[in-house]
Amino acid sequence: MAAVASQLVQDMASGSAEHGAEDALTALINLVRVDLEECNRVIVAKMDSPVALIPQLAAHIVAAGGKRLRPLLTLAAAKLCGYPSANRRHIDLAACVEFIHTATLLHDDVVDESLLRRGLASANAVFGNKASVLVGDFLFARAFELMVQDGSLHVLDILSKASATISEGEVLQLVTQNDLATTEARYLDVIMGKTAALFAAACQVGAVVAEQPLRQELALAEYGMKLGIAFQMVDDALDYAADQATLGKTVGDDFREGKITLPVLVAFHAGSDPEKQFWRRTIEALEQTDADLDEAMRLIAHHGGIDATMDRARRYAQEARDALMIFPDSPVRQALIAVSDYTVQRAR
Amino acid sequence: MAAVASQLVQDMASGSAEHGAEDALTALINLVRVDLEECNRVIVAKMDSPVALIPQLAAHIVAAGGKRLRPLLTLAAAKLCGYPSANRRHIDLAACVEFIHTATLLHDDVVDESLLRRGLASANAVFGNKASVLVGDFLFARAFELMVQDGSLHVLDILSKASATISEGEVLQLVTQNDLATTEARYLDVIMGKTAALFAAACQVGAVVAEQPLRQELALAEYGMKLGIAFQMVDDALDYAADQATLGKTVGDDFREGKITLPVLVAFHAGSDPEKQFWRRTIEALEQTDADLDEAMRLIAHHGGIDATMDRARRYAQEARDALMIFPDSPVRQALIAVSDYTVQRAR
């Protein structure tokens, strides 16, 4: 496991280097770099099990897993609240947050693999799904084991509630999928659940370990919630952004699955009758031809669906920034504010 | 939800009536009947969510779900330890235990549905799998929310560890599936994880709420662990028991999935070379014809695989009984002892 740990820390270090252009995130990472590296060590150590497939599969997804944004938020929130870096609680709890996130990723993979391979389920695909479900369960249980070791019922309350809310958001997304009658309010419920709830909890936990008054705790939860909403809205916009396609990035995943996102709702409600028919066929009936994604992107651009979504995201990012104003100015506060700016600039 | 609650309590009552022939279980149910009915009300109330699919799907599996053996164990263990029935902690925690069990059932369904419908995945089948994964996640998270409300870190420790152990057992079962090189020790690890760990935790929690000394706590954990092992061994024997088939019960599920269970290991190791080839083809390569299950049952009976498994189960049931001997004699102790007897008599 030592080799895996060292590899992971290297991945993280090079991962942060990749974000050199995104000064905000780099600045935040640099402020808590030692803690983040230690958090990665905890992640690797705690995903171990005598059942070898568990650390193998977990290492695969944890190592592949993005920016470590959620544990970074816990570490940064703790620092913002003056929690001494020599202490360990923020590091262990940041690892819990990442485990919960990883568990949901693994279960999302099952959902996505099922769709991508629909009607073509091989024995191998089935084996992969099973392992993803079960290892996801393990990581989720392990997260609660670690929280119990930390010993704070308040932290357990925040993260168990967030976990239930995430599941509710995911189920609501499933229910609203392929349903153009979904309202914007329901769309907001989905993204608050599936994404923003864990951002909020990750930030709030940082205040809890620093034993801050409730006002500071809730301000950080508010920052995380609004940041998470903005983050997911931008993600939903990028899935239909033509310039992303020219950059070689993946677009159209949401379209192929018939997910109801804000860009689609904007274009659908502003659309002519033939356009509404197009959306009903492609999103509701999931009858899609190769040319349909381009047409969807054209219609969304035509009706300002990307701009409307990005505008909304920028408003939430502004509210995230506002929530931090009760804290005195500091390099961490500046970096957290810059991260919310960065989030709504990802489209460029 | 009130209608669902009332239905569930009726189901439970008629469910216990169905077991009239099994005096042991009926006796135990009668001793804690009021608590068990209240536990069912808690289960229905706490699986509610603004996302309607969650209580719908959860009600389906909770209502369909067997004997409520695990929450029954928590309630009975609490009573054995003199916990006042007027208090509520044992009821809420019994509901948590059932939620954890239901979550694992839902995720097992995904695994099993994938197998049964292999190569025939319909959109409907995919939708079912997704919902099962996500609602299972919700119930698991909700279980931890309820435990946090209970407020005992010791209980949280027991049930979070049990949850991680269950996942490890399930993954180990996946890894050993179709592998006849699996040892009996590994088989024991699988069933201790996937089944016995939650039986043990369910019993131990009853002692914890009653604030018993560690010796009593561990004795009840031991009873649950040994009972769970016996229970699973009998289940594995029944899957190849010819008289079950004549009674119209399902046999052969384990065979079709290539699960490595004790009856198979006994027959495989005692088998001739052609017989070993039969097992390699059917269990390892999963190449099965309609006549193979009968042949598997014949070989297992021929080599005493059922008897050997039942003997082993009876030894564990005896150890379960022995663990209770530190408690003074009482109707609950007698009923718990009778349940372990009943467990190894299920084959008749």
In a domain, B279, yes or no: yes
**B336–chain A nearest CA distance, Å:** 29
Cβ neighbours of A248 (radius 10 Å): 6
Sequence-distant (6+) residues with CB within 8 A of A75 are A32, A35, A36, A39, A90, A91, A94, A206
In a domain, B348, yes or no: no
What confidence tens digit (pLDDT) does each residue in A290-335 have?
A: 899 999 999 999 999 999 999 999 999 999 999 999 999 999 999 9
Phi, psi for residue A214 in degrees, rounded to 5:
-55, -35
Which among B248, B225, B228 has a CA at the least distance from the CA of B236? Answer: B228
State residue B20's pLDDT score: 37
Q: Measure CA B172 to chain center.
A: 17
Q: Is A111 exposed, middle or buried (0-12, 13-18, 19+ CB in 10 A)?
A: buried
State residue A127's pLDDT score: 40
Q: How confident is the model at residue A65 (pLDDT cuts 50, 70, 90)?
A: low
Which among A260, A291, A325, A337 has a CA at the least distance from the CA of A27? Answer: A337
Residues of B in contact with A152 (CB under 8 A): none
Which among A80, A112, A102, A141 has a CA at the least distance from the CA of A257? Answer: A112
Find the range with the poorest average confidence among A53-57, A248-252, A311-315, B45-49: A248-252
Distance CA(A82)–CA(A78), nearest Å, equals 6
Computed over every residue of chain A, the mean pLDDT equals 87
Taking an 8 Å cut-off on Cβ atoms, the answer to whether B133 and A174 are in contact is no
**B39–chain A nearest CA distance, Å:** 21
Give the CA distances from residue B219 to residues A234, B199, B201, B216, B284, in Å, rounded to whole numbers and listed in that order: 55, 13, 11, 5, 39
Taking an 8 Å cut-off on Cβ atoms, the answer to whether B137 and A53 are in contact is no
State residue A61's pLDDT score: 74
State residue B64's pLDDT score: 60
State residue A169's pLDDT score: 97
B 57-96 residues inside an 8 A Cβ radius of A: none
Cα Rg of chain B, angstroms: 20
State residue B118's pLDDT score: 29
DSSP summary character for residue A82: T
Question: CATH number, domain at A178?
Answer: 1.10.600.10
Burial A189-206 (b: 16+ CB within 10 A, else e): bbbbbbbbbbbbbbbbbb
B 173-202 residues inside an 8 A Cβ radius of A: 174-175
Q: Measure CA B94 to chain center.
A: 14
Chain B residue with minimum CA distance to A161: B145
Which of B134, B155, B284 to mutate to probe the A interface, most A CBs <10 Å?
B134
In a domain, B199, yes or no: yes
Q: What single-letter amino acid sits at A41?
A: R
Q: Which residue has the higher pLDDT, B149 or A23?
A: B149
Packed helices B33-46 and B53-64: angle between N→C axes, nearest 10 degrees? 150
Please give the average per-residue pLDDT across A249-265, as a whole number.
89
ipTM score here?
0.89
State residue A348's pLDDT score: 43
Q: Does B257 touch chain A (CB under 8 A)?
A: no
- For residue A248, pLDDT beyond 80: no
Residues of B in contact with A126 (CB under 8 A): 114-115, 118
SS3 content of chain A, % helix, strand, coil (to 5): 80, 0, 20
- For residue A221, pLDDT beyond 50: yes
Residues A175/A195, Cβ–Cβ less than 8 Å = no
In a domain, B194, yes or no: yes
Residues of A in contact with B104 (CB under 8 A): 137
Which among B208, B216, B223 has a CA at the least distance from the CA of B93? Answer: B208
Q: Does B115 touch chain A (CB under 8 A)?
A: yes
Phi, psi for residue A308 in degrees, rounded to 5:
-60, -40
Residue with tokens 């976990």: A163
What confidence tens digit (pLDDT) does each residue in B168-208 have?
A: 999 999 999 999 999 999 999 999 999 999 999 999 999 99
Burial B193-204 (b: 16+ CB within 10 A, else e): bbbbbbbbbbbb
Compare CB distances from A153 to B103, B110, B148 and report the shortest one's residue: B148
Total beta-carbon pairs less than 8 A apart between chain A and chain B: 162
**A108–chain B nearest CA distance, Å:** 9
Taking an 8 Å cut-off on Cβ atoms, the answer to whether A137 and B175 are in contact is no
Which among A255, A127, A114 has a CA at the least distance from the CA of B123? Answer: A114
Taking an 8 Å cut-off on Cβ atoms, the answer to whether B156 and A137 are in contact is no
Chain B residue with minimum CA distance to A189: B51
Which of B104, B114, B122 to mutate to probe the A interface, most A CBs <10 Å?
B114
What confidence tens digit (pLDDT) does each residue in B89-135 have?
A: 999 999 999 999 999 988 887 765 544 422 333 222 434 788 889 99
Domain that holds residue A215: 2-343
Cβ neighbours of B2 (radius 10 Å): 9
Taking an 8 Å cut-off on Cβ atoms, the answer to whether A121 and B114 are in contact is yes
Distance CA(A53)–CA(A275), nearest Å, equals 48
Q: Does B144 touch chain A (CB under 8 A)?
A: yes
Residue B154, SS3 per DSSP: helix
Taking an 8 Å cut-off on Cβ atoms, the answer to whether B141 and A160 are in contact is yes
- For residue A17, pLDDT beyond 70: no
Q: How confident is the model at residue A226 (pLDDT cuts 50, 70, 90)?
A: very high
Q: How confident is the model at residue A5 (pLDDT cuts 50, 70, 90)?
A: very low
What confidence tens digit (pLDDT) does each residue in A105-136 have?
A: 888 877 655 444 233 332 224 347 888 899 99
Compare CB distances from A153 to B126, B151, B161 and report the shortest one's residue: B151
Which of A117, A124, A126 to mutate to probe the B interface, most B CBs <10 Å?
A126
Q: Does B166 touch chain A (CB under 8 A)?
A: yes
In a domain, A348, yes or no: no
In a domain, A272, yes or no: yes
- For residue A11, pLDDT beyond 90: no
Render each residue's pLDDT in chain B as its tens digit; 348 residues: 444 444 443 444 444 434 433 678 889 999 999 999 999 999 999 999 999 999 888 887 776 656 789 999 999 999 999 999 899 999 999 999 999 999 998 888 776 554 442 233 322 243 478 888 999 999 999 999 999 999 999 999 999 999 999 999 999 999 999 999 999 999 999 999 999 999 999 999 999 999 999 999 999 999 999 999 999 999 999 999 867 655 555 678 899 999 999 999 999 999 999 999 999 999 999 999 989 999 999 999 999 999 999 999 999 999 999 999 999 999 999 999 999 998 898 654
Count of domains in chain A? 1
The length of chain A, given as a count of residues = 348
State residue A12's pLDDT score: 42
Taking an 8 Å cut-off on Cβ atoms, the answer to whether A163 and B115 are in contact is no
- For residue A236, pLDDT beyond 90: yes
Residues B135/B53, Cβ–Cβ less than 8 Å = yes
- For residue A66, pLDDT beyond 90: no
